Amino acid sequence: MGDQPGYVTPAGWYVDPGTGTRLRWWSGLDWTEHFAPMTEHRPEPTSRPGGEPFDGRSAGADARSDSGTDESAPPLSRRERRALEEEAAGTQALPPPVTRIAPITSYAWDREADRSESRPSAYVPMAAPEEATLYRDIPSRWSTASVWTIAFMPWIAGVTAAASLVLAWWGSAWWLQLGALALPFLLTLAAAQRDVKRLRSWRHRTVAHWAWSLLGSVAYLIARTVVLRRHAGLGSAPMWVGLANSLLVCGATVWLVGAAATNLAGFHAAMADDLGAALEPSYGVVQVECPADLEALSFACNVTDAGGVTRSVWVELNAADGSYTYSVAE
């Protein structure tokens, strides 16, 4: 309430701006829930116009005589007196109505000096528009086909490594072996670039650079997870899957190498026995020695007969069925 900037209307009873038919208590800052009927207070005269002192009893008698009746008012019952006492006790906490009755249609003070007046009574500070937009724009999508391809890349690398060994065993060209080894590396680079583009299309403002994939699939997954967790709070599943796959591939590789070494030792022993049995009709009892490491499908073995004569036996393995052929160099 106020008509001039910077002026605050003092507390008191004023016409309720909501109804206009009753009084409402203004606390000086806001309207309260205390109401009172519209009354007009007039000052009581101290004396009569003729100069005689005012007496309430004589005034009442004059009023009764003017009305033409001499009957006194009936006394109040106990119930009526109790009701009046309770009503009076309930209004003691409120200041009495005053004569400052003025139509109030709005209240305000200098909005140029104090802009907090425009806030609602239950004001809750809100974030700045740019901050609200920032939090509202945090994307929730992080899973792409490319990142899951990178997470399972250790298995692809294991398969291509086995294919490279087979190609070397068969004596294939070096560029085929190199291509088999480079395939998972190239796939990781391509998948990382595709993953970065997809994350940016989902409005991720900060993403890991695809160049992390130059250090391997696990390195890219770790960098991607760190960035996404810091800025969006999600996206760590591919990293854990990639680490688990790497451990599984390492374990499978160790087991396969051990099994291959055991089988190779048994193969050498079986092949030496077969060669000795095949050469026995021609050279008698012989002792066969083959190289421990077979680097190709063709290799030479030394055969020593009972007379101490050593001969060279050229052996060629058939990788398809595991059979072999030999020829003795005289």
pLDDT score recorded for residue 99: 45
Give the angle subtended at the CA of 112 by the CAs of 108 and 117, to the nearest 5°. Answer: 40
Residue 131 lies in a domain: no
Question: From CA 275, how far away is CA 323, in angstroms rounded?
Answer: 12
Q: Which of 235, 253, 280 is the last residue of a domain?
A: 235
- The answer to whether position 321 is within a domain reads yes
No. of helices (H) and no. of strands (E), the chain: 8, 7
CB 13 within 8 A of CB 98: yes
User: Based on the structure, what is the number of domains in the chain?
Assistant: 3
pLDDT of residue 11: 81
Residues 20 and 114 in one domain: yes
For a pLDDT cut of 90, what percent of the chain falls above it? 25
The confidence score (pLDDT) of residue 295 equals: 62
Specify the pLDDT at position 113: 42
How is residue 179 written in tokens?
């291509």
At residue 84 the predicted structure's pLDDT band, cuts being 50, 70 and 90, is low
Q: Is the pLDDT of residue 77 over 80?
A: no
pLDDT confidence band for 217 (50 / 70 / 90): very high
Greater model confidence, 104 or 196? 196
Q: What is the pLDDT of residue 88?
A: 56
Tokens of 316: 């060629």
Residue 74's pLDDT is: 59
Query: Which DSSP helix (H) or strand (E) runs through 25?
Result: strand 22-26
CA 304 to CA 289: how far, in whole Å?
Answer: 9
Please check whether residue 246 is in contact with residue 253, taking contact to mean a CB–CB distance below 8 angstroms: no
Pair (216, 303) in one structural domain? no
- Mark which of 190, 215, 235 sits at the end of a domain: 235
Same domain for 90 and 28, yes or no, is yes
* pLDDT surpasses 90 at 199: yes
Strand-strand pairing, 12-15 and 298-304: unpaired
- Answer yes or no: is pLDDT of 201 > 90: yes
Summarised one tens digit per residue, pLDDT across range 262-317 is 777 677 777 778 888 888 787 777 788 877 766 667 778 888 887 788 888 888 87
Alpha carbon distance, N-terminus to C-terminus of the chain: 125
pLDDT for residue 145: 95
Q: Are residues 282 and 224 in the same domain?
A: no
Mean per-residue pLDDT over the chain, rounded = 74
Q: Is the pLDDT of residue 104 over 60?
A: no
Rounded Cα gap, residues 24 and 97, in angstroms: 10
Q: Is the residue at 265 inside a domain?
A: no
Range of the domain at 228: 145-235
Instruction: State residue 121's pLDDT score.
Output: 46
One domain, residues 102 and 20: yes
Tens of pLDDT, residue by residue over 145-163, are: 999 999 999 999 999 998 8
Same domain, 18 and 114: yes
- The pLDDT value recorded for residue 102 is 44
In a domain? residue 69: no
Residue 69 confidence (pLDDT): 42
Does one domain contain both 230 and 189? yes
Contact 15, 24 (CB under 8 A): yes
Would residue 190 count as lying in a domain? yes
Domain stops at, among 235, 256, 287: 235
Tens digit of each residue's pLDDT (9 = 90 or more) over 114-148: 444 444 444 444 444 444 444 455 788 899 999 99
Domain assignment present for 266: no
Q: Letter for the amino acid at 225?
A: T
Is the four-CA dihedral 261, 267, 270, 272 of positive or negative sign?
negative
16-39 pLDDT, tens per residue?
888 878 888 888 778 888 888 876
Query: 121 with 174, same domain?
Result: no
Residues 312 and 231 placed together within one structural domain of the fold:
no
Q: Are residues 231 and 275 in the same domain?
A: no
Listed as own residue / partner, the contacts of 247-253 with beta carbons closer than 8 Å and 24 or more positions apart are 248/154, 249/154, 249/155, 249/157, 249/158, 252/158, 253/158
Residues 113 and 18 placed together within one structural domain of the fold: yes
Domain contains 257:
no
Residues 227 and 276 in one domain: no
* pLDDT, position 261: 73
Question: 151: helix, coil or strand?
Answer: helix
DSSP assignment letter at 34: E
Residue 159 lies in a domain: yes
